[in-house]
C-alpha cells in the first residue's frame, strides 16, 4: 500500500500518530469515524474508495472534493460533504462550492475532468491492492481496521 | 476445503439467470473466477461483489471473467444483482442445493457456500483457490489479482 506521500491529503500535527483512511462520502460509517478522528491527536491521510454499486453519489462526491482541492479547499469540502451526507446531488455540490467561495465554473469543469477521475481511481486501486474491501478502512502502524470495527477502534 | 491448485474442476451444472446450464465445458478455453458467497442480500456479500464489480475492466484485461455463485434461487440472485447494480453474472446452486459447492469443497456445514474464490484455467484445472477463515471476512480483490498475475 502506498505510504503517505506528497500527493496525499493530510491533516493533523506532524509529530502525531499517522493513520491512512480509505473512505467514501456517502458511507455513514465513514462519517461516524470522521467525527471520532477529528477529536483525536492524529495525523490523517484520506484516500477515496467510492464503491458505486453501494453508494451511487460517492464517485461524484469524491470528484467534488478533488475539484475543491484544485482551488486549495480540499478539507473544507471534505468536512462539508461528511457533515451533510443526505445532500450530495449536483445542486448541493454547487451550493457547497459557492459557500466555500470557489470559482464555480472552474469547480464544475475540474470535477468532471479526466485528471480528477484518474486521481480518485488511483486512490481506489491503491486501496484494492492493499486489501481494502469496505469502507471505512483504516491503516495504523501496520494494522488494518474495517467497517464497524474501524469506528469502534477509534472511540 | 476448497479444491486446491492442480485439481481438475469437477463435472457440475449451475443455473444461469436465463435458466440455461453453466457446466464444466463453459470453463474450457477461458480464465474463470468463481466467487462463492453465502447469501444474496446479506450486508457482507454486498460490499464484496460491489468492489469486484468496480474492477471488471482490470479483470478482463487479464482475460478473466467473474461469476457469483450462491445457493439462492435464480429469482433472488437476479433481484440481488439488480439492487446492487452490478454486472457480475450470477450462477445458482439451488437444485440440488449445494451440490456444486460441495463438489468444489466450499459447502459450509450449515448448508450455504463458504466465502471462497476459485480460479480455473482454460484447461479446466484449478489454478488457485481461497476460502475465507469465516464467512464474515471479505476476500480482497487484490487476492484475485495476485493469483492472476502469478
Give the nearest partner residue to B51 out of A51, A56, A129, using CB atoms.
A51
Q: What is the DSSP letter of B25?
A: G
Residue A103 has a pLDDT of 98
How many distinct structural domains can be found in chain A? 1
Q: Do B142 and A134 touch (CB under 8 A)?
A: no
Mean pLDDT of B66-70: 98
pLDDT tier at A155, thresholds 50, 70, 90: confident
Asked, for residue A4, whether it belongs to a domain, the answer is no
How many CB atoms are closer than 10 A to CB B93?
A: 26
Contact A53 B55 (CB under 8 A): no
pLDDT band at A2 (very low <50, low <70, confident <90, very high): confident
B57: domain CATH number is 3.40.30.10
The chain A residues in contact with chain B (CB within 8 A) are 51-54, 56, 124-125, 128-134
Top-confidence residue, B46 or B2: B2
A1 within domain boundaries: no
In whole numbers, what is the pLDDT of chain B averaged over residues?
Answer: 94
pLDDT for position B98: 96
Residue B66 in domain: yes
> In angstroms, what separates the C-alpha of A83 from chain B's closest C-alpha?
23
What pLDDT, on a 0 to 100 scale, did the predictor assign at position B46?
Answer: 66
Confidence check on the interface: ipTM exceeds 0.85, yes or no: no
Order of strands, sheet of A9-11, starting from the edge strand that comes earlier in the sequence: A9-11, A42-48, A17-23, A137-140, A143-146
CB B2 within 8 A of CB B132: no
Sheet architecture: strand order including B21-23: B21-23, B13-15, B89-92, B64-70, B31-36, B116-120, B126-131
- Taking the C-alpha atoms of residue A104 and residue A47, their distance in angstroms, rounded to an integer, is 24
State the pLDDT at residue A1.
Answer: 77
Q: How far is A51 from chain B (nearest CA, A)?
A: 6
Query: A6: helix, coil or strand?
Result: coil
Residue of B nearest to A56 (CA): B85
Per-residue pLDDT tens for A8-48?
999 999 999 999 999 999 999 999 999 999 999 999 999 99
Question: Which residues of chain B have a CB within 8 Å of the CB of A52?
Answer: 50, 53-54, 85
**Domain, as residue range, for A137:** 9-153
Q: Is residue A82 part of a domain?
A: yes
Which of B54, B142, B143 has the CB atom closest to A52's CB atom? B54
Q: Determine the structural domain holding residue B72 and report its residue range.
A: 13-149
pLDDT digits (tens, 9 = 90+) for A39-92: 999 999 999 999 888 889 999 999 999 999 999 999 999 999 999 999 999 999
Q: Measured between alpha carbons, how far is B47 from B18 in angstroms, rounded to an integer?
A: 25
Round to whole Å and give the CA distance between A23 and A31: 9
- SS3 state of residue A100: coil
Q: How many Å apart are CA B17 and CA B92, to the nearest integer?
A: 8
Q: Which residue of B has its CA nearest to A134?
A: B47
CATH number at residue A40: 3.40.30.10
pLDDT band at B135 (very low <50, low <70, confident <90, very high): confident
Question: Across chain A, what does the average pLDDT equal?
Answer: 95
CB pair distance less than 8 Å for B54 and A134: no
The predicted-structure confidence for A112-125, as pLDDT tens digits, reads as follows 999 999 999 999 99
pLDDT tens string A135-147: 999 999 989 999 8
Which residues of chain B does A130 touch, with a Cβ-Cβ cutoff of 8 Å?
Answer: 140, 142
Residue A51 is nearest to which of B54, B142, B145, comparing CB atoms? B54
**Considering its fold, how many domains does chain B have in total?**
1
Q: Do B47 and A134 touch (CB under 8 A)?
A: yes
Our CA-based measurement puts residue B44 at a distance from the nearest CA of chain A, in whole angstroms, of 9
Residue A2 falls within a domain, yes or no?
Answer: no
Within-domain flag for B95:
yes
User: Does B49 contact chain A (CB < 8 Å)?
Assistant: yes
Residue of A nearest to B87 (CA): A53
Q: Give the number of A-B residue pairs with CB atoms closer than 8 Å.
A: 49
Residues B86-109: tens digit of each pLDDT: 999 999 999 999 999 999 999 999
Amino acid at each position: 500500500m502506498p505510504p503517505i506521500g506528497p500527493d496525499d491529503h493530510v491533516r493533523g500535527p506532524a509529530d502525531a500518530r499517522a493513520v491512512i483512511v480509505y473512505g467514501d462520502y456517502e458511507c455513514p460509517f465513514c462519517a461516524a469515524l470522521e467525527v471520532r478522528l477529528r477529536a483525536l491527536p492524529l495525523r490523517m491521510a484520506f484516500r477515496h474508495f467510492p464503491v458505486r454499486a453501494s453508494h451511487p453519489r460517492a464517485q461524484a462526491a469524491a470528484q467534488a472534493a478533488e475539484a475543491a482541492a484544485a482551488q486549495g479547499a480540499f478539507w473544507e469540502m471534505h468536512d462539508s460533504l461528511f457533515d451533510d451526507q443526505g445532500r450530495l446531488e449536483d445542486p448541493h455540490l454547487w451550493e457547497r462550492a459557492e459557500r466555500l467561495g470557489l470559482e464555480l465554473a472552474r469547480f464544475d469543469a475540474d470535477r468532471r475532468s479526466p485528471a480528477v477521475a484518474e486521481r480518485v481511481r488511483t486512490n481506489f486501486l491503491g486501496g484494492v491492492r492493499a486489501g481494502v474491501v469496505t469502507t471505512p478502512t483504516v491503516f495504523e502502524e501496520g494494522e488494518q481496521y474495517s467497517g464497524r470495527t474501524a469506528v469502534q477502534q477509534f472511540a | 476445503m476448497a479444491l486446491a491448485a492442480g485439481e481438475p474442476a469437477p463435472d457440475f451444472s449451475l443455473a444461469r439467470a436465463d435458466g440455461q446450464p453453466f457446466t464444466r465445458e463453459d470453463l474450457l478455453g477461458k480464465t474463470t473466477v468463481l466467487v462463492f458467497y453465502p447469501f444474496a442480500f446479506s450486508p457482507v456479500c454486498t460490499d464484496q461483489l460491489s468492489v469486484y464489480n468496480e474492477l471488471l475492466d482490470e479483470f478482463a484485461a487479464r482475460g478473466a471473467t467473474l461469476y457469483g455463485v450462491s445457493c439462492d434461487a435464480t429469482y433472488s440472485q437476479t433481484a440481488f444483482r439488480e439492487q446492487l447494480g452490478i454486472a457480475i453474472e450470477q450462477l445458482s446452486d439451488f437444485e440440488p442445493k449445494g451440490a456444486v459447492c460441495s463438489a468444489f469443497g466450499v459447502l459450509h456445514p450449515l448448508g450455504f457456500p463458504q466465502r471462497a474464490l476459485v480460479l480455473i484455467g482454460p484447461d479446466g484445472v484449478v489454478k488457485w483457490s481461497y476460502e475465507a477463515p469465516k464467512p464474515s471476512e471479505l476476500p480482497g480483490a487484490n487476492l484475485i489479482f495476485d493469483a492472476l498475475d502469478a
